[in-house]
């Protein structure tokens, strides 16, 4: 397994710099859902972003004809670092529910969902995962791919059944509304 990058925590945001000089940040944002007061304060959304401003200036042609900055080949240390951030979060916050959404905007969603699947397989004895797919569609005459995500929480959580049912109902409502929006 590759070594994770060194992580710097600044005001609850985890930063690290990859070998290609891309700067990554990961954070857990508290989310409020009405309907389950017992879960208030325990649901977070995992967000992950990168800044490629400092990367070497190599470009590639995108499907739309524009040129996009290319940041190099797959770096397995990035995946190892993100997995460490998620594990560390649960060590400090065992009763939280973590939602993650693997956006398709930069075509890296398959790699992201693979990373979460791999993390879950390594921890499936301890955690429950409720996956979801938001169906793609046509937006502004562009075809958008499906968006993958899920919610992860401890199997030993005292409110496990409540969380499982709540997450499943929220996922159903959300994916149904997105599907209707894209396909109308």
Q: Rounded to a whole number, what is the distance in angstroms from the first to the last CA of the chain?
A: 46
Contact 23, 8 (CB under 8 A): no
Which pair of tokens denotes residue 142?
A: 């562009």
In residues, how long is the chain? 184
Task: Name the residue ranges covered by the structural domains of the chain.
Answer: 8-182
Question: Across the 184 residues of the chain, what is the mean pLDDT of every consecutive 10-residue run?
Answer: 92 92 92 80 89 70 54 78 94 93 71 85 93 78 80 94 88 64 52
Is the Cβ–Cβ distance between 81 and 16 less than 8 Å?
Answer: yes
Q: Which residue has the tokens 């940041």?
A: 71
* pLDDT score for 31: 86
Q: What is the Cα Rg of the chain in Å? A: 18
pLDDT reported for residue 68: 53
The dihedral of CA 85, 161, 129, 175: what is its sign?
negative
Q: To which H or E segment does residue 84 belong?
A: helix 76-92
Query: b/e map of 88-115 (b: 16 or more CB within 10 Å)?
Result: ebbeeeeebbbbbbbbbeeeebeebbeb
Q: How much is the pLDDT for 140?
A: 76
Using an 8 Å Cβ cutoff, are 98 and 151 in contact? yes
Alpha helices in 93-159 (DSSP H): 109-123
DSSP β-ladder status, 43-51 and 97-102? parallel
**What is this structure's pTM?**
0.79
DSSP-derived letter for residue 38 is G
Look at residue 94 in the predicted model and tell me its pLDDT. Answer: 95
**pLDDT of the residue at 9:** 93
**Contact criterion met (CB below 8 Å) for 18 and 26:** no
Strand-strand pairing, 67-70 and 97-102: unpaired
């Amino acid at each position: 397994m590759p070594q994770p990058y060194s992580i710097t925590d600044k005001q609850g945001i985890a930063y690290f710099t990859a070998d290609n000089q891309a700067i990554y940040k990961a954070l857990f944002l508290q989310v409020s859902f009405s309907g389950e007061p017992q879960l208030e304060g325990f649901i977070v959304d995992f967000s992950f972003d990168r800044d490629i401003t400092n990367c070497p200036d190599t470009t590639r042609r995108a499907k739309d004809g524009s040129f996009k900055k290319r940041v190099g080949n797959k770096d397995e240390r990035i995946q190892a670092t993100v997995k460490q951030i998620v594990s560390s979060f649960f060590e400090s916050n065992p009763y939280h529910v973590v939602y993650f959404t693997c956006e398709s905007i930069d075509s890296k969603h398959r790699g992201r969902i693979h990373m979460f699947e791999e993390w879950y397989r390594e921890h499936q004895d301890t955690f429950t995962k409720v996956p979801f797919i938001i169906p793609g569609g046509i937006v502004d005459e562009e075809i958008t791919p499906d968006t993958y995500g899920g919610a992860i929480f401890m199997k030993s959580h005292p409110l496990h059944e409540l969380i499982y049912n709540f997450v499943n109902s929220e996922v159903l409502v959300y994916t149904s509304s997105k599907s209707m929006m894209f396909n109308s």
